[in-house]
């Protein structure tokens, strides 16, 4: 009777009756949080940290469902077809931004095929070197000097072809007018393993992957991607401060919902995320320990950021003919 009465009231206001039914059924006992990346990675880690607090505030359990593959495009393509009832959400990571372009699969359009809820975290990046392999490299300028002096191109690695580490280094190469050869890996973990082993000397890495080894002294951070990264690596200069003022970026992630999810549900989740990410010191500390930074922005700001980054990185990928195939 309550749901019917509410639906009738909404009808008199000119609002669709199904909105009341959706609200009455939300949240369910369990909310599914789809993560289109492997367990243990930065997107998965952030999803689990935030889901615990969000679930407590909503009074439900939030189950993380990992559906990795093709840089996030497989899980994201599946997610956009799931019910838009507010009980299915996804933590969207930046590798999935360019995945349709890099894999040529047109699995989804990031500006049309889902709803933005809010940004959740920034994922700073750093240029790191193996100090045994590259003993004289302690800055961007010494790296460039060594690259220019090398008889054959130096090798650098990233978490994969078309990854943000790959695209960022390609942009720096253009700005600094030097060359290096990219050696892609399938994920940050194996790339860092071979970097530690000395098979390669240079990597543009997610701080989350490199931080423990930087702290131990096994890797040396010579630059960070943005000023925000100083929270994680105090004292390490930005690329911008080392002669490239237009170089400033972080990878990042945010919460998305299927198209058609009730606006009231999106508004409520947005409000809770704002409180969690802006005020909850425990969550902020957990994210920092994982190599990420709590970074709340509302839905419209997230949508604009997504569009801007898509344009920026698509241009670099096309100019450099970068593909994951």
Q: What is the total count of domains within the chain? A: 2
pLDDT greater at residue 227 or residue 278: 278
Q: Tell me the H-state helices in the chain.
A: 2-12, 17-24, 42-58, 73-79, 95-103, 140-149, 164-176, 188-197, 207-216, 263-279, 281-289, 299-319
Decide: 33 and 58 in contact? Cβ < 8 Å: no
Domain-located, residue 325 = no
Are 227 and 141 contained in the same domain?
yes
Decide: 162 and 318 in contact? Cβ < 8 Å: no
Q: Tell me which of 179, 210, 242 is where a domain ends.
A: 242
CATH classification of the domain holding 45: 3.40.190.150
Dump pLDDT digits (tens) for 231-267: 889 999 999 999 999 888 888 999 999 999 999 999 9
Are 183 and 118 contained in the same domain?
no
Are 116 and 254 contained in the same domain?
yes
Q: Which two tokens stand for residue 240?
A: 């911008």
Are 237 and 257 contained in the same domain?
no
* The pLDDT value given to residue 159: 86
Are 235 and 277 contained in the same domain?
no
Domain-located, residue 136 = yes
Domain-located, residue 324 = no
- Is the predicted pLDDT of residue 206 greater than 80, yes or no? yes
* The pLDDT value given to residue 23: 56
Strand partners, 35: 66, 91
- Is the predicted pLDDT of residue 108 greater than 90, yes or no? yes
Q: Tell me which of 242, 262, 286 is where a domain ends.
A: 242
Strand partners, 119: 254, 297
Are 13 and 87 contained in the same domain?
yes
The domain in which residue 14 lies consists of: 2-123+250-319
Q: Tell me which of 190, 209, 242 is where a domain ends.
A: 242
């Amino acid at each position: 009777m309550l749901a019917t009465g509410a639906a009738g009231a909404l009808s008199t206001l000119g609002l669709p009756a199904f909105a009341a039914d959706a609200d009455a059924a939300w949240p369910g006992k369990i909310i599914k949080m789809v993560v289109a990346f492997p367990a243990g990675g930065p997107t998965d880690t952030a999803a689990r940290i935030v889901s615990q607090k969000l679930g407590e505030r909503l009074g439900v359990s939030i189950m993380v469902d990992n559906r990795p593959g093709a840089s996030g495009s497989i899980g994201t393509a599946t997610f956009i077809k799931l019910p838009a009832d507010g009980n299915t959400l996804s933590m969207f990571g930046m590798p999935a931004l360019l995945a349709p372009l890099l894999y040529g699969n047109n699995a989804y359009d990031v500006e049309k095929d889902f709803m933005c809820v809010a940004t959740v975290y920034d994922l700073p990046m750093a240029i790191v070197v193996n100090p045994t392999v590259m003993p004289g490299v302690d800055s961007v300028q010494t790296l460039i000097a060594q690259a220019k002096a090398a008889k054959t191109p130096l090798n650098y690695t990233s978490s994969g072809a078309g990854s943000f580490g790959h695209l960022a280094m390609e942009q720096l190469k253009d700005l600094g007018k030097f060359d290096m050869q990219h050696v892609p890996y399938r994920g940050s973990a194996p790339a860092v393993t071979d970097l530690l082993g000395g098979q390669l000397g240079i990597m543009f890495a997610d701080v989350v992957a490199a931080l423990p080894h930087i702290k131990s002294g096994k890797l040396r951070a010579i630059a960070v991607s943005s000023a925000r990264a100083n929270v994680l690596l105090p004292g390490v200069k930005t690329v911008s401060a080392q002669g490239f003022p237009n170089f400033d970026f972080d990878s990042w992630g945010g919460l998305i919902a299927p198209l058609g999810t009730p606006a009231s549900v999106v508004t409520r989740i947005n409000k809770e995320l704002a409180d969690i990410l802006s005020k909850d010191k425990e969550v902020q500390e957990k994210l920092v320990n994982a190599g990420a930074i709590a970074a709340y922005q509302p839905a419209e700001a997230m949508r604009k950021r997504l569009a801007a980054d898509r344009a920026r990185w698509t241009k670099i990928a096309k100019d450099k003919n970068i593909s994951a195939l």
